[in-house]
A and B are shown apart, each in its own frame.
Chain A
């Protein structure tokens, strides 16, 4: 649920240090929050209403935090629900701006926070207060208050949505601001992301707040509880969802670990291929869902090695033709294994074809050029790049620059030049951290790179291409 995103962002940048600029910014916001309500005035709002709403806000927050905690098995993982906005928006429609600003204060002060605690709590309270205040001001200014008391539907929906919009914009600006100040993040991306993520949930919260306000005069707290009940259920579901998602990620990495038990060379390799593929996908401006799918495809690309006999995988010498054939079955095995996983979609094709070559001499089917699925072309480059920069027992890892030259040499024949270029740009922009060499790797010989061409055309038991080719060539030289 996207509404959790903005809720999380109110925690003042999570656990990162604030820095001097960040602190100054937070203090400025807190001062503004103190001045604003005084200027606008608390007005004739009844204090009992302010108290009930504040108590409701505290209770909802507590409940939601507890649900997130119990779902995480008592360990505070990323509890992103740190605010319960519908109550605040109800306050914005029911109360004068100054009084609405008081509602979130108690909840923000009582909520747990990272150190420096006092500053973070004050900051959370201040930015929520300013947002609630702005929403109430907009609701009043657009005539929402009188329409609400006269039950004018649908006219009152306009001011409500405007108030929710104001709440969303103010929160996004303030929260984005602290990220810009504290982490030197790029302001445009921060604000755009925050606004896009929170816009729709905020409009929904606005409507829910309006519902509470409609029922408030005749039914009081009971109506509020009934309106909020589905929301607490949905936050429970969200916590369950997060837990199950984490479990699913663990299961995927367990699949990978099963391969790493068999083939010690690949320790961490899958993770790094996945990371490189994602960096490349970002350079290629792929849609987010595809990037997520590609991440999993990268992790699982060698999963089929489970089907290759351990003795072949661990062999420290040249492979016979039969053994090559066994190794070359791994994309097919991998595809067979992940066949049943519905959400993988495109990723399954990526796993099946990640050893194809642009000139059609790869395996398992000998596709060429554009016939090769895009995911497979990405993974092929990432796979070869990581193989070359990692240290294996038969060869020391090569520097990134050397690997890049080699990739560029093979672009067109083995790799898609577009993908190679994406990788080069990604590495230039983000840097690359190859696998840390272990003590055992000290003896690895220093062997120059050189990707061997397959001896025979595809399908006829050609000796490995790509990463496997590097491995064979190097093994030969090493002996």
Chain B
């Protein structure tokens, strides 16, 4: 009966390698994209735009020449260093805040130590892209994947910032309208940087959406939540470096990077403790397996499935995290039972017994320090889609209904992982959508199953 577990390690490492997205467990999205064998059209469009911009800038520079090489070298070095210090933010987003801020600062650089500069949009694009590539070399040398997504985003967003500033500065338009000095200059720069940051968020949402199949609006919402704070720190640092370089020259570069580096270190620590918390909860989930209450790998399989279904149903990243925790710990209540249930399959128990296990579990979960919603989800796992009298309980969280379906699927299908058995189980679940399982969730599960490799 017992079949080899899908180890959590494997699920985690797939996610790690796939770059960013997927707040929940596993990375079905990129795997799916790879299986299809070609990139989605939206991704191709973004990449094409970035490549075109770089090529056009290169041609422009070849014709009109490169100016003020030392300044370019200074900013380029900072971009490359920032790229080296790339870090993982919560939600598995890989970011190079310092690199982004330095590129933004070069795009918005007017005067340097009181002297006017003359570089244009083309030079900004070529320098920042080249420096980012140089900064990625050690990463690629260590055998890691280069993040083309973030390079493309960077090229386009920095291009937008430079386009809003450099032509007007170089032709004296800003001077004429009094936007070249003092607080007005600061405000204009902040505006340009803000537009660039919004562009970046939009592109991130576009790319993330096409990788994971989520709708643009949902992806945009997730990206905004995730990038709002670090994004504002990047914008502020970019603007400050640009205006401070006007006062004190290239000394502004190392000096004004300090606060952003501090922030970046803070984010890194936060992401690390988040990962540790997830690992510890996975250990707690493994407790039922070690104790012989559930089959090996059950919690991990249910979690993977529930998170895929949750993403299919467009849950936000925050909701996905709660769903993941609830799915991992959904059987924890069984630890309080003196005798294990045969096979650990709760889906085959009576309703009252299922409720009791859910309640016991939620009591343990309340003590774990995860958000209280998780305990609520586990407490409501036993609730059917419709009560015997045909009414529905609107209070049951969607996450509880998802875990309920995923758990039933794994309890029924775990003895045979083949696609034929999956179809049988799906038919069985569909038959029970009148009472037990929510039809919407079962259909989402069916779509997830279709994408699973045979």
Contact = CB atoms under 8 A, between A and B. Distances in A.
Contact of B232 (A229, A258, A337): A229
Given A214-B244, A255-B284, A231 B364 contact: no
Interface string B252-286: 00011011101101110110111111011111101
Interface stretch (B169-177, B204-212, B233-241, B412-420): B233-241
Interface string A244-259: 1111111111110110
B94 to A, nearest CB: 17
Given A229-B236, A237-B270, A204 B262 contact: yes
B262 A234 contact: yes
A227 B290 contact: no
A204 B369 contact: no
Contacts of A238: 266
B270 A240 contact: yes
B19 interface: no
Contacts of A244: 270, 273-274, 277
A226 interface: yes
Nearest to A201: B262
A340 interface: yes
Contacts of B338: 310-311
A307 interface: yes
B368 interface: yes
A229 B97 CA distance: 14
Contacts of A338: 283
Which of A151, A230, A231, A258 has the most chain B CB atoms closer than 10 A to its own CB? A230
Contacts of A241: 266, 269-270, 273
A340 B335 contact: no
B390 interface: no
A35 interface: no
Nearest to A329: B290
A182 B291 CA distance: 51
Interface in A278-324: 303-304, 306-307, 310-311
A226 B274 contact: no
A337 B332 CA distance: 14
B187 A251 contact: no
Contacts of A207: 255, 258
Contacts of B369: 246-251, 254
B229 interface: yes
B256 A247 contact: no
B292 A307 contact: yes
A-side interface size class: 35 or more
B275 A342 contact: yes
A248 B248 CA distance: 45
Contacts of B269: 1, 237, 241
A51 interface: no
A34 interface: no
A154 B368 CA distance: 51
A333 interface: yes
Nearest to B284: A255
Interface of B is mostly: helix
Interface stretch (A215-223, A266-274, A352-360): A215-223
Given A237-B229, A340-B286, A210 B255 contact: yes
A340 B279 contact: yes
B370 interface: yes
A219 B233 contact: no
Contacts of B274: 244
Given A233-B232, A254-B284, A220 B183 contact: yes
Which of B182, B190, B240 has the most chain A CB atoms closer than 10 A to its own CB? B240
Nearest to B266: A237
B335 A261 contact: yes
Interface string B119-138: 00000000000000000000
Which of A238, A244, A254 has the most chain B CB atoms closer than 10 A to its own CB? A254
Contacts of B230: 233
Contacts of B365: 254
A420 to B, nearest CB: 31
Contact of B233 (A1, A154, A230, A250): A230
A306 B183 contact: no
B240 A226 contact: yes
Contacts of A246: 369
Nearest to A311: B338
Contacts of B262: 1, 3, 204, 230-231, 234
A248 B236 contact: no
B168 interface: no
B18 to A, nearest CB: 19
Given A220-B183, A223-B186, A248-B277, A237 B263 contact: yes
A230 B239 contact: no
B329 to A, nearest CB: 10
B236 A251 contact: no
A457 B450 CA distance: 56
B9 interface: yes
A258 B283 CA distance: 12
Given A151-B248, A208-B259, A222-B187, A258 B284 contact: yes
Contact of B236 (A214, A230, A342): A230
A341 interface: yes
Nearest to B369: A250
Contact of B266 (A1, A208, A218, A303): A1
B186 A214 contact: no
Contacts of B255: 207, 210-211
B2 interface: no
B249 interface: yes
B367 interface: yes
A188 interface: no
B145 interface: no
A347 B368 CA distance: 21
Given A218-B182, A255-B287, 9 more contacts: A151-B248, A226-B186, A226-B240, A230-B263, A231-B259, A233-B230, A247-B369, A251-B277, A341-B276
24 contacts: A1-B262, A1-B265, A3-B262, A204-B258, A208-B258, A218-B182, A218-B247, A222-B183, A222-B186, A226-B236, A227-B236, A230-B233, A231-B259, A233-B229, A234-B262, A237-B229, A241-B270, A245-B273, A251-B284, A254-B284, A257-B364, A258-B332, A337-B290, A340-B279
Interface of B: 8-9, 12, 181-183, 185-187, 190, 229-230, 232-233, 236-237, 239-240, 243-244, 247-249, 251, 255-256, 258-260, 262-263, 265-267, 269-270, 272-277, 279-284, 286-287, 290-292, 332, 335-336, 338, 364-365, 367-370
